[in-house]
Amino acid sequence: MKPTTKLQRGGDYPLAWILEAHSRGLFPAQFEYARSLPEGVALYFSGDMTPAIELAVDAALATYDPDAPPTQGATVAADLKIAPFLTPELLGAPYNVVVFNQHLRPPFATRKVVTWTDYGRPLKAEYTIDGEKVAERRFIFRNQSESNPLLSRRTDALYYVKKDGTLTHPPIVVEDSPYDLSSAGDISAVVGERVRTRKNITQKINGEVLGVLMAHYQEADPATIIETVAPFNNETRDLQADFIELGAEGYRQHLAAVDLGATAHEWLGVLVAPGLTVRDHMVTTLTYTTGETFIGHPYAAGVIV
């Protein structure tokens, strides 16, 4: 891990201005964050401090004009619903320099709730503070082709919620990663992504079955239900592993062939909904098409808007 080094300078430089100047490329790329001090400002950088970094910082600070009027019409941190929870120095900064997991005032913290697709990829994450939605992160996955579900590009876009309830525009691109199947490293990454999505599907099944059976048996202790389904999981452990690691069909086919009238695992016949048993629900969940998460979104053409 690269060390973090501090560079201290005298002068009254608002933190909001420093972050805005960094967003315009005035500070070196190694810049991480800044803190206001009674005697000036401290700037923190990844890696070792060099004379070139010091010269670039001094050149950037020299552009500060305390009498310059603020930018008109631009969305700033004060316009966001997250504003009451931010450090005051940030309120005049452009919204796209706010990093809420770094800039929240203690003791505030965000709560994240992720929405998942049926095929195991995250669709979006919503962040709340005291029940108020303050941000949304959308996960955009593009496949190699319709017939090839391996990942070709992943883009994560962060939107803040403004005080009027609308989302900031344009979004902050948190990650934008293309994948090239001619690269051994990228192949490993995209195959690993498929393994994780199939693992997410099995975890989704396990959680839903647990909830259904706890309600059906009026059992408050999850451990009792886990013990009930353990023999089935032991019997199908290898099939489940092959599904996760290889995408094999054996686990789904095994479930579909279970005779609910003869099986020792009678809980497979418990109803999830009228006419839908636990077994049928598991088979349906394991029967999926791996799609692209931007379909049906405003950025359906692959362009973030």
pLDDT in tens, 205-256: 999 999 999 999 998 899 999 999 999 999 999 999 999 999 999 999 999 9
- The pLDDT value recorded for residue 298 is 39
- Name the average pLDDT for the chain: 86
CA-based angle 69:172:184, to the nearest 5? 145
Which tokens is 8 given? 């201290």
* Amino acid, single-letter form, for residue 94: P
Q: How many CA atoms within 13 Å lie on the side-chain side of 32?
A: 14
Tokens of 70: 């603020």
Per residue in 249-291, pLDDT tens?
A: 999 999 999 999 999 999 999 999 999 999 999 999 998 776 6
Mean pLDDT of 92-113: 87
Q: 171: burial class by Cβ within 10 Å (0-12, 13-18, 19+)? A: buried
pLDDT at 146 over 80: no
Is 297 a residue whose pLDDT tops 50?
A: no
127-150 average pLDDT score: 89
pLDDT at residue 302 in the model: 37
Per-residue pLDDT at 261: 94
The percentage of the chain sitting over the pLDDT mark of 70, rounded to a whole number, equals 91
Token readout for 42 is 């401290």
Q: Is the pLDDT of residue 150 over 90?
A: no
- pLDDT of 305 reads 30
Q: How confident is the model at residue 130 (pLDDT cuts 50, 70, 90)?
A: very high
The pLDDT score that the predictor gives to residue 2 is 55
pLDDT surpasses 90 at 125: yes
- Within 10 angstroms of residue 184's Cβ, the number of other Cβ atoms is 8
| Separation of alpha carbons 13 and 41, rounded Å | 7
| 135: pLDDT strictly greater than 60 | yes
Comparing 21-25, 156-160, 264-268, 298-302, which segment has the lowest mean pLDDT? 298-302
Average pLDDT in the 35-53 region? Answer: 85
**What number of residues does the chain have?**
305
pLDDT band at 191 (very low <50, low <70, confident <90, very high): very high
- 3-class DSSP state of 82: coil
pLDDT at site 215: 95
The angle subtended at Cα 92 by Cα 87 and Cα 98, nearest 5°, is 60
Give the tens place of pLDDT for each residue, 156-178.
Answer: 889 999 999 998 887 888 888 89
Q: How large a percentage of the chain has pLDDT more than 90? A: 50
For residue 270, CA distances in Å to 179, 208, 234 come to: 43, 12, 20
* Of 41, 9, 17, residue with least CA distance to 90: 17
pLDDT given for residue 280 in this prediction = 96
Q: How far apart are CA 251 and CA 259, in angstroms?
A: 15
Determine the residue type at 243.
F
Per-residue pLDDT band for 1 (boundaries 50, 70, 90) equals: very low
Q: Which pLDDT score is estimated for 186?
A: 93
User: Has this prediction a pTM greater than 0.85?
Assistant: no
List the structure tokens of 274.
């009228």
User: How far apart are the C-alpha atoms of 105 and 103, rounded to whole Å?
Assistant: 7
HSE-CB for 254 with a 13 A CA cutoff: 14
Please tell me the predicted confidence (pLDDT) of residue 292. Answer: 66
User: CA 199, 203, 208 angle in degrees (round to 5)?
Assistant: 150
Return the pLDDT at 70: 56
| Residue 304, pLDDT score | 34
